[in-house]
Chain A
């Protein structure tokens, strides 16, 4: 078996909370991501789902090295992201790119499409001169389904879906192997979402890309991903092959999450039994003891309040962190 393209080992990101004006001291930490481990194979799409504040975006950013990790590491194509320096770091940055959620905020409004998309080419000194870069930008625009003649336009002249395509073209400019897609479609209308998702799939086939697809839309994740990881309050609670996860979820949180997803079928909706969770997600500053899900868990027992559940492989390829996953 070949080495996976991305290997994440016990990755942890805590944001310190400081207090005091002159003498600043750290009084606590937001435990955004706590010791998550997984791998992504070459050409695979791994979905990462969870609700707001579960740490999925922080996980994506930390594993790319956009945030320094509190502990743990990421190996991308043989390079340790957080230890790499100098030219090795540039190598990692070139191979691993990101597509952001908000197509309005992630493009500089004062730059032309040409400057935006050619920036990675300039930074990584991939092409010798301006002319070659212009040609490459035009090629990239065509690749993502934009008109190459619009190269000198500004972001405000494009619709949301088109802007997201510009973001994708920028991510592709440095010929990456791996792209973290952070909620790339959640700001778009339904009719445009399908266009962007189909584009991402086409590019994956053409260029052999590997994706980490961070999203809260569970229907879209089932459609686009090969395997899916579920996050809750900074920890990974379940990871399995797509259909296995949706058809045989083992963690009570995954079960509740899936039962809450509305399905566009009135008959099915009327017959469905929902697991309605009570309360809200607790604060990641003082996460609950034991299993972090126990205060909202419908099947929690005494043990869940004390023991942190182990990350276990219950069936081949199906991992879960729950004491009671067997029953």
Chain B
């Protein structure tokens, strides 16, 4: 896996939205890459730009009000941002598939589940109707839905939340994509159902061998799932590391604060939670200085004046911060 070639490379991606209140600076120069078969977790709180980044990669941003202002998304040597809409349609669903947070609103309530799964197949493959149906049944079986052929004729409301998310996963896998982007797919689910879905995705990933980007705000899920993690804040990547390094050798004050703000189910309580002061940033203001500076406990004058770039400070460990959190000294 470590020697696998990069097949997705996002360079300096910038996305903004024009609203009556002004320009929303949602994504402000995000860069990362992904190797074949790798699982990358994107972590951050609401409004940090994690979903907008993925929607930009998929070219699903509504234009206007949104606009991809700059950057490149190189997928297998092609810049997706330069493709025509027709060419992009060949990539979506076939090469890169996406699953969303709320399985009820992402399924069409008036079409049967079978119809919705076969839609991808009919668009992207020359299969006949019977073949499509057989494949859809096989997909439902693959994601662990009992009685799959019979259930093809059911509507989304006849499935529970966890089962609907399984249907979504079956749909996304229809054309065996090489990259699956999952946008908080378990946030709306209960913990035991979440555990079922995560187990299923891990199993499928092992068998199908696809790469995955998993967006979440839950640092617990990341620990058990990801190979590598990027942490986002206010539209910037602030830290990028191999999963073990992120937890054991945290370099960014924001990541550190997030980890310290988390209670643990596996440990006895020793003290009060450390809270992060202030509130999430206002994205209507053009960024100047480090976006986390107003909430940061390590803040220096330099942080307010100048935004630090994301740089490699240790092997495979990048951080965007002027301060070394271990010594408290400036880098």
Does A260 lie at the interface of the complex (its beta carbon under 8 Å from any beta carbon of B)?
Answer: yes
Inter-chain contact A198/B223, CB cutoff 8 Å = no
| Cross-chain pairs A/B with CB under 8 angstroms, 26 sampled | A159-B280, A191-B261, A191-B275, A191-B276, A191-B280, A191-B295, A192-B276, A194-B275, A195-B276, A216-B190, A218-B191, A242-B269, A243-B268, A246-B266, A258-B265, A260-B195, A262-B221, A262-B223, A263-B264, A264-B220, A264-B262, A266-B224, A277-B192, A277-B195, A277-B196, A280-B193
Inter-chain contact B219/A264, CB cutoff 8 Å = yes
Give bound CA distance, A256 to B264, whole Å: 17
Inter-chain contact A266/B257, CB cutoff 8 Å = no
Segment of A86-94, A134-142, A149-157, A267-275 in the binding face: A267-275
Give bound CA distance, A164 to B219, whole Å: 23
Does B213 lie at the interface of the complex (its beta carbon under 8 Å from any beta carbon of A)?
Answer: no
Does B162 lie at the interface of the complex (its beta carbon under 8 Å from any beta carbon of A)?
Answer: yes
A265/B261 contact (C-beta < 8 A), A51-B191, A274-B199, A280-B163 known: no
A194/B274 contact (C-beta < 8 A), A216-B190, A219-B262 known: yes
Q: Which residue of B lies closest to A220 (CB)?
A: B263
Within 8 A of A (CB), among B98-141: none
* Total contacts A-B at CB 8 Å: 132
With a CB–CB cut-off of 8 A, which chain A residues contact B91? none
Does B273 lie at the interface of the complex (its beta carbon under 8 Å from any beta carbon of A)?
Answer: yes
Inter-chain contact B199/A218, CB cutoff 8 Å = no
Within 8 A of B (CB), among A134-177: 159, 161-162
Inter-chain contact A276/B275, CB cutoff 8 Å = no
Chain A proximity mask over B138-161: 1 for CB below 8 Å, otherwise 0: 000000000000000000000011
Inter-chain contact A198/B275, CB cutoff 8 Å = yes
Does A201 lie at the interface of the complex (its beta carbon under 8 Å from any beta carbon of B)?
Answer: yes
Question: Which 6 A-B residue pairs are closest in the complex by CB-CB distance?
Answer: A262-B220, A269-B224, A223-B263, A260-B195, A194-B275, A51-B190
Does B45 lie at the interface of the complex (its beta carbon under 8 Å from any beta carbon of A)?
Answer: yes
Give bound CA distance, A51 to B272, whole Å: 26
Does A193 lie at the interface of the complex (its beta carbon under 8 Å from any beta carbon of B)?
Answer: yes
With a CB–CB cut-off of 8 A, which chain A residues contact B224? 262-263, 266, 269-270, 272
Give bound CA distance, A223 to B224, whole Å: 21
Measured between C-beta atoms, what is the minimum distance from B280 to chain A in Å?
A: 7
With a CB–CB cut-off of 8 A, which chain B residues contact A66? none
Does B279 lie at the interface of the complex (its beta carbon under 8 Å from any beta carbon of A)?
Answer: yes
Within 8 A of B (CB), among A201-245: 201, 216, 218-220, 222-224, 242-243
With a CB–CB cut-off of 8 A, which chain B residues contact A189? 45-46, 217, 280
Inter-chain contact A274/B195, CB cutoff 8 Å = yes
Does B230 lie at the interface of the complex (its beta carbon under 8 Å from any beta carbon of A)?
Answer: no
With a CB–CB cut-off of 8 A, which chain B residues contact A274? 195, 199
Within 8 A of A (CB), among B8-67: 45-46
A257/B266 contact (C-beta < 8 A), A191-B280, A264-B219, A266-B243 known: no
